[in-house]
A and B are shown apart, each in its own frame.
Chain A
Amino acid sequence: MIRSDSRPKLDGSAVYGVDLREEGMLWGALVLAPASHGRIRRLDLSNARAMPGVAAVIGPDEVRALLPSRDGDRERPAFPRSEVLYRNQPVAAVAAATRAQARAAARAVAIELEPLPIVPDVESVYPEWPADGAPISPDVIAHVHARHGDLARCFGEAEFVHAETYRTSGVHQVALEPHACLARVDADRWFVRTSTQTPFGVREDAAEILGIPQERIVVEGTWVGGGFGGKGSSFLEPYALLLAAATGRPVKLQLTHREEFLLGRTTLPTVVRIETAVREGRMTARRVRLLLDSGASLPGRDFATGFVIGFLLGPYRLDAFEMEGFGIRTNKPPFGPHRAPLTPQCVFVEESHTDSIARRLGVDPVEFRLRQVWREGDRTHLDQPVGPFGIEEGLRRAQAVVREWRRDLPKDHGIGVAVGFWSTGTGAGGEARVRVGPTGLTIVQGEREIGSGSVVGGLSRVAERVTGLPREAVRIEYRDTSEAPYDSGVFGSRTVGALGQAVEKAARRLLQGIGERLGERTPVSLAWHDGRVLVVAGEQRLELAELLTPEERAKGGVEAAGRHFGAPGAIDEGRVVTGSFYPFNDFTGSVAVVEVGVDRETGAVTPVRVASFPDVGVVLDRALVDGQVEGGVVMGLGTALTEEMLWGPDGRLGNPHFLDYRIPTLGEAPPIRIDPVEGFRGAGPFGAKGVGEPPIIPIPAAVANAVADAVGARVTELPVSAERVARALKLL
C-alpha cells in the first residue's frame, strides 16, 4: 500500500522545520553554559553585540524588558538569572544575518560562573539504598512508594529470594532532523512554525515560559523528521519567539546534531534493586527500588518516576509487593521522553530478572511466565481491572517460534524471550473535525505526521472504515493552533487510539446527519465513484452533491466535530504510601523473541533474527503496523547493544556524535518476523490499540535473555555491550 505522504517525501517538496525560510529572516543561535553547575557572576553580551551581522543578543535582562507583564521570577525562566543547572543550558541567545554570524556571536558572549558542587549521577547521592526512615536527600525531586499484601510473610516463607541490582544507561532519541523552528512576532501575535509532535503542547508550554496568554501564541506544525518523544512540548520555540520579538524580524533557530546530543532531553540512567520471593515454582512477592536520574528536571515536573515504576513489577499476579522510587536531580539536562519513556529499560530489568528466576528453577522461561501473566479480569498491582490483554496469546505464539528456532540453533547462539507490557496514552484528549463534500472527505486537525503514519494513514483508515470511502477519497488538512481543533499531540501511541476516537465520532455524526436528510433511520454509508462521493442507503445510491444546499456546496460540504476525552482509570490509593502513580489506560504491549550469536572471545553480540507479537487489538493498516514493529525493534536493538550516553564526573557528555553514539546501521538490522495479535480489543476505534511504542519495549530484555541462553552469563547493565559480555564471561 502506498503511503499518501510518499510523493512530497520523495520529490523533496515536503517542508520540515529545518527547511523553513522567510523573507528578511535572521538566524538565531543559543549561548550554552560552559559548566555543569555554577552561580552566574557575569554575563557580558557586549562583545557579541559588536560582532558582524548581529541584530540582537538577549539574556535574562533583555527578556524581562521584552516581557514587562512577567511578574517576578517565574518557575521556568527562559534563561537562568542566577544559577546554571546543567552544562550547555541556554543562558542567552543571538540573532544575526547568517547562521555562521549568529554562531560566532554566540561564542563571543562572555560568561563567568562561580563553580558549585555537581551531582553527576544518582549513585553520588545514594551509593546504597537509604535505610528505612533515613532523611530524604534534598536532591530528590520525586518520591513514590506503594505496597500491598504481606510482603514480609511472602519473603519469609519463600523457598528462595532472588535479588539483583541492574543499571541502565541514558539513551538519545536521535531523530535525524534536528530541532528547528521559525518565529515571527507581529503586534500581539506570537507565531512560530516548528517541527513538533505537539503543536498545542508547544503553545501551552511557550505561554508558561514567556508568561503571555496562550491565545496570543500561534503554532503551526511542519513535517517532522522523526520525533520519538524528543519533539514534544516546547524546546527552541520560546527562544526563537524572544529573538523575533527583540529584532522585529522573523528568526530561524536550528540545532546542530552535536547540540542535539549536548542539550537534548533524553532518557537518563537508572539503578534498580529488584527482589522476588519464589515458592512452589511461582513468584509470590516482589520488592523493587528505583533510583532515576531526573537531570535538571524541576521538582513537581517529574512525570517518569511514578509512571514507569509499575513496569518494574511486571504484568504478573503477585500476592504482595512493595515499590519505591526516587527521582533524583542531577546536573544533566532534564529527563525527557523517548519512545515508551524508560520502559524498555524497566522491562529489561524486570524481564531479565524473571528470566533468571526461571533458569534458576530450571523451568522453561516462557512456561514460567505463562503461569502468572495477567489475563483480562485480573487486577493490577494498584488494583485496576486488567482489560483485554493479548500478552498471554503472544507468549504462546512466541513459544512456538522458540521451538522452531531451537531445532537448528548454532553453537554460541541463544534465544531470549521477553514480555513488554504497555499502557497507551488514550487518556489524553483531543478533538477533530471531519468534512465531507461532493469530491471527498477531509479530516481537519493540527497534528502533523511524524513518520509513523498515524496521522496520514491511521486517522484516514478510521474515517474510511466508518464511512466506507476508499483511501483516495480521504485527505488530511492541517491547520495552525488558532484554527485547528485542540489535540494533546502525537505521543504515547495515542494518535489512532485517542484522536482516532474523535475522528470516528465526527465521521459517524456526519453519516447520521446525511441519513436524516434522506429521512432514513438507519445510518447511511458512503461510496466513491468517478471521483464523486455517493450516499448509499439501502438499495439507494445517489450523489452527495444532490443532498447539499448551494451554501454547503460553496463551503466544500458539511462538517461535524468529534471529541474524545478519556476518563483515567482509578487506582487504589490505599496502596499508595506517597507520591503520584499513573493509572493504566489501555492494556497492551508486545512479546519478542530474539536470537543472538555471541563471540566468546570478544563478547560481541550479533542479533540474528527477531520475532515480534504486538498486541494491536485490530490491524487497521498492516503496512503501517509492520513499519512500527520493524522500526521499534531495531531502535530497541540500539538500546540493547550499543546506545549509551557517556557523561564524565564533571557532567560533560563524552560522545555527542554519531561515531561514538552508535545507532543501528543498515547492515546490523536482522530479519524480523511480525505476527500481530488481534482480538483483544483496545479503547481505540474498532478496538485498535496504539502500536508505536510496544514493539521496542521487550527488545533489550529479550537480547539480554538470549545472551544468557547462549553463554550462560547474565549482563545486568544496559547496553549489553561487548565489554560487559566479556566481563560477564570473565574475559576481562
Chain B
Amino acid sequence: MTEPPVRLSVNGEPRSLTVPTDERLLDTLRQRLGLTGTKEGCRSGDCGACTVVVDGHPMLSCLTLTHEVPDATILTIEGAGRDPIGLRVQRAFEREGALQCGYCTPGFVLALTGLLTERGGVADPSELLEDLSGNLCRCTGYAAIVRAVRRVAEESH
C-alpha cells in the first residue's frame, strides 16, 4: 500500500518524503536526509542521544514514527545554530566545555533547546536538570553539562 508523502519542515527547509509507515524519524533524518548529527543510541528511548525538537518540544526520534508527525517543524543539531535558543545552548556548551566525545551532545543540546522553547526561553535550572536526566553521558560525569545548563538558565533571566 502506498502511503501519501509526509511533509515536514526540517531546519526551516520544507521536505516532502515518501517513507514506509514503520520508519522511525531517526532513520528518516539520518539515512534519508543525511542529517547524521542526530545520533543513534539505544533505539529504545533509554539514552536520549537521538533527541530532536519537534514543534517546539524535545522528542526522542528513535521512538517517533515519521508518519506520526505530519506537517511538523523539526529542529536538528545541524539547524540549532539558526535557532536563537539553540544558539544560546550551543554557546553555553562550548564555553563550559560540556562535551568530550560529543556523541551525546546533539541530544543534550536539543533536549535543552526544546525544554527552554517550551518555557518561552526562561526556566529554573533545577527544573531543566530534572528534565534532562533522561539523557545519558558516559564521558563528562555531567559536571560540565550541569554548569552549561546553569549558564543557559542564568542568561535567560
> What is the interface of chain A, defined by CB distance below 8 A to chain B?
1-3, 5-16, 18-19, 21, 174-178, 223-228, 256-257, 449-453, 623, 626-627, 630-635, 657-659, 663-667, 669, 671-672
Q: Is the Cβ of B44 less than 8 Å from the Cβ of A14?
A: no
Chain A interface: which of B2-10, B64-72, B97-105, B115-123? B97-105
Q: Is the Cβ of A631 less than 8 Å from the Cβ of B100?
A: yes
Q: Is the Cβ of B100 less than 8 Å from the Cβ of A627?
A: yes
Residue from the list B49, B100, B103, B130 in contact with A453, Cβ < 8 A: B100
> What is the interface of chain B, defined by CB distance below 8 A to chain A?
30, 34-44, 46-47, 49, 76-78, 80-81, 90, 93-95, 97, 99-106, 109, 129-130, 132-146
Q: How far is the CA of A3 from the CA of B144 in the complex (A)?
A: 13
Q: How far is the CA of A295 from the CA of B22 in the complex (A)?
A: 39
Q: Is the Cβ of B99 less than 8 Å from the Cβ of A10?
A: yes
With A225-B39, A256-B43, A666-B133 as contacts: A14 and B143 at CB distance below 8 Å: no
Cβ–Cβ < 8 Å partners of A667 in chain B: 129-130, 133
Q: Is the Cβ of A19 less than 8 Å from the Cβ of B36?
A: yes
**Chain B contact surface mostly:** loop
Q: Is the Cβ of A12 less than 8 Å from the Cβ of B38?
A: yes
**Chain A contact surface mostly:** loop
Chain A: minimal CB distance from B136 (Å): 6
Q: Is the Cβ of A177 less than 8 Å from the Cβ of B39?
A: yes
CB nearest neighbor in A for B95: A2
Cβ–Cβ < 8 Å partners of B95 in chain A: 2
Q: How far is the CA of A7 from the CA of B102 in the complex (A)?
A: 10
With A11-B77, A21-B34 as contacts: A666 and B142 at CB distance below 8 Å: yes
Chain A: minimal CB distance from B113 (Å): 12
Quick one: which of B43, B133, B139 has the most chain A CB within 10 A? B139
Quick one: which of B30, B37, B90 has the most chain A CB within 10 A? B37
Closest 4 CB pairs of A and B: A12-B37, A451-B101, A9-B102, A225-B103
CB nearest neighbor in B for A624: B97
With A5-B102, A11-B37, A631-B140 as contacts: A665 and B133 at CB distance below 8 Å: yes
How many interface contacts (CB-CB < 8 Å) are there between A and B? 162
Q: Is the Cβ of A635 less than 8 Å from the Cβ of B141?
A: yes
Q: Is the Cβ of B97 less than 8 Å from the Cβ of A3?
A: yes
Cβ–Cβ < 8 Å partners of A10 in chain B: 77, 80-81, 90, 93-94, 99, 102, 105, 109
Q: Is the Cβ of B103 less than 8 Å from the Cβ of A627?
A: no
With A174-B138, A451-B100, A658-B47 as contacts: A9 and B146 at CB distance below 8 Å: no
Cβ–Cβ < 8 Å partners of B35 in chain A: 12
What would be 18 A-B contacts, judged by CB atoms less than 8 Å apart? Answer: A3-B94, A10-B90, A11-B80, A12-B106, A13-B78, A18-B39, A175-B103, A176-B41, A176-B104, A228-B138, A257-B41, A627-B97, A635-B138, A658-B47, A658-B136, A664-B142, A666-B142, A669-B141
Quick one: which of A6, A13, A176, A225 has the most chain B CB within 10 A? A176
With A10-B94, A176-B138, A257-B41 as contacts: A666 and B145 at CB distance below 8 Å: yes
Q: Is the Cβ of B138 less than 8 Å from the Cβ of A226?
A: yes
Q: Is the Cβ of B102 less than 8 Å from the Cβ of A13?
A: no
Cβ–Cβ < 8 Å partners of A623 in chain B: 97
Cβ–Cβ < 8 Å partners of A18 in chain B: 36, 39-40
With A9-B102, A177-B101, A225-B101 as contacts: A630 and B140 at CB distance below 8 Å: yes
Chain B: minimal CB distance from A693 (Å): 14
Q: How far is the CA of A473 from the CA of B156 in the complex (A)?
A: 34
Q: Is the Cβ of A224 less than 8 Å from the Cβ of B101?
A: yes
Q: Is the Cβ of B102 less than 8 Å from the Cβ of A451?
A: yes
Q: Is the Cβ of B42 less than 8 Å from the Cβ of A657?
A: yes
Q: Is the Cβ of B141 less than 8 Å from the Cβ of A2?
A: no
CB nearest neighbor in B for A450: B101
With A11-B80, A21-B34, A659-B46 as contacts: A627 and B132 at CB distance below 8 Å: no
Q: Is the Cβ of A257 less than 8 Å from the Cβ of B42?
A: yes
Chain B: minimal CB distance from A713 (Å): 28
Cβ–Cβ < 8 Å partners of B49 in chain A: 176
Q: How far is the CA of A177 from the CA of B144 in the complex (A)?
A: 20
Chain A: minimal CB distance from B17 (Å): 16
Q: How far is the CA of A666 from the CA of B81 in the complex (A)?
A: 25
Quick one: which of A9, A175, A658 has the most chain B CB within 10 A? A9
Cβ–Cβ < 8 Å partners of A257 in chain B: 41-44, 47
Residue from the list A3, A256, A633, A659 in contact with B99, Cβ < 8 A: A3
Q: How far is the CA of A333 from the CA of B41 in the complex (A)?
A: 22
Q: Is the Cβ of A6 less than 8 Å from the Cβ of B143?
A: no
Chain A: minimal CB distance from B19 (Å): 13
CB nearest neighbor in A for B102: A9
Cβ–Cβ < 8 Å partners of A11 in chain B: 37, 77-78, 80-81, 90
Q: How far is the CA of A623 from the CA of B148 in the complex (A)?
A: 14
Q: How far is the CA of A663 from the CA of B48 in the complex (A)?
A: 13
Residue from the list A452, A453, A630 in contact with B141, Cβ < 8 A: A630
Q: Is the Cβ of A627 less than 8 Å from the Cβ of B144?
A: yes
Q: How far is the CA of A669 from the CA of B104 in the complex (A)?
A: 16
Q: Is the Cβ of A12 less than 8 Å from the Cβ of B138?
A: no
With A9-B105, A18-B39, A667-B129 as contacts: A634 and B99 at CB distance below 8 Å: no
Cβ–Cβ < 8 Å partners of A453 in chain B: 100
CB nearest neighbor in A for B40: A18
Residue from the list A174, A449, A627 in contact with B140, Cβ < 8 A: A627
Q: Is the Cβ of B132 less than 8 Å from the Cβ of A666?
A: yes
Cβ–Cβ < 8 Å partners of A671 in chain B: 143
Q: How far is the CA of A189 from the CA of B57 in the complex (A)?
A: 47
Residue from the list A12, A659, A669 in contact with B36, Cβ < 8 A: A12
Cβ–Cβ < 8 Å partners of A174 in chain B: 138
With A9-B102, A12-B37, A630-B141 as contacts: A666 and B129 at CB distance below 8 Å: yes
Q: Is the Cβ of B141 less than 8 Å from the Cβ of A632?
A: yes
Q: Is the Cβ of B94 less than 8 Å from the Cβ of A6?
A: yes
Residue from the list B38, B80, B142 in contact with A634, Cβ < 8 A: B142
